[in-house]
A = this chain, B = another copy of it.
Amino acid sequence: MADFFFEDFIVGEVKTFGSHTMTEEEIVTFAREFDPQPMHIDAAAGAKSVLGGLAASGWHTCAIMMRLICDGFLLRTAGMGSPGVTENNWLAPVRPGDTLTLRRTVLEARTSKSRPEMGLATFRFELVKPDKTVVVDQTCVIMIGRRNPGARLA
């Protein structure tokens, strides 16, 4: 039984969840499998790139964000999957030693007319470093089961 349902996500609410510290080994391991561009697997190549040093693949950063979303609240939420991401900006390089925290803002919440058992919540997810630098800024829609389907069709 989930702890959180659609009704628990209040538009405007901002919360932070968890943290993850990146290691060089995990950055290189992910990149070798999924995104073997030189700046993600080799420090010298990274130094010569626009990233100015070895930096994680943007897709690795998104995957880390997803893990923080899961551990922060989604695994305890009546989640029903996601249709997609409407925007994802990689704003700053993520390097070995960087500690990333998830910041979640509820942008929008609307019930589904065709599927009254669920609602659609639009979140802004950001990964933030201790110095307040935002490294990724994403807008994502998640389908979430309602606590009392049919109680209201706002």
- Majority secondary structure, A binding face: mixed
> Interface extent on A, as a size class?
20 to 34
Q: Is A67 an interface residue (CB 8 A)?
A: yes
Inter-chain CA distance A35–B49, complex, in Å, is 30
> Which residues in A have some Cβ–Cβ distance to B below 8 Å?
30, 33-37, 39, 49-51, 57-59, 62-64, 66-67, 70, 74-75, 79-90, 143
The answer to whether A49 and B80 touch (CB under 8 A), given A59-B62, A63-B63, A70-B35, is yes
Give the CA-CA distance A142 to B89 in the complex, in Å.
12
Contact B66 A35 (CB under 8 A): yes
A23 to chain B: closest CB distance in Å? 13
Q: Whole-angstrom distance between the alpha carbons of A119 and B36 in the complex?
A: 22
B143–A50 CB distance below 8 A: yes
Q: Is A33 in contact with B143, judged by CB distance below 8 angstroms?
A: no
| Extra A-B contacts (11), CB below 8 Å, given A35-B67, A36-B67 | A33-B63, A34-B66, A34-B67, A35-B63, A35-B66, A39-B81, A62-B62, A63-B63, A85-B87, A86-B87, A88-B88
